[in-house]
Amino acid sequence: ETGVTQTPRHLVMGMTNKKSLKCEQHLGHNAMYWYKQSAKKPLELMFVYSLEERVENNSVPSRFSPECPNSSHLFLHLHTLQPEDSALYLCASSRLAGMSSYNEQFFGPGTRLTVL
């Protein structure tokens, strides 16, 4: 496979469930990102990992827990979510994180999450 892949593509969960979103990049990049895109809203950056260390956490509730076991994989663990967390969750990767003379981001296809 090439590029950035995400699984599952669709997820429906109840508020008491625990689930995980998975992202994998095959581009040899060192930085990975989670974004949330709610209906009619711009993309919101949630977390940034660079070389497997979290470098950005944009005031995300603790019911979202990221994990980056290596530079190719990124997870988003979900527990006790609320209906307003229903959104498209997008993963991205780039060669480096933050300010850089070359830092193009590539996105996965997203996971469409519905919380009942």
Regarding 59 and contact with other proteins (CB under 8 A), the answer is no
Least distance in Å: CB of 56 to other proteins? 6
Regarding 104 and contact with other proteins (CB under 8 A), the answer is yes
98 phi/psi in degrees, rounded to 5:
75, -155
Least distance in Å: CB of 31 to other proteins? 10
Q: Which stretch binds other proteins (CB under 8 A): 11-19, 21-29, 68-76, 107-115?
A: 107-115
Facing residues of 12 across strands? 114
23 phi/psi in degrees, rounded to 5:
-135, 140
Give the distance between the most distant pair of CA atoms in the chain: 44
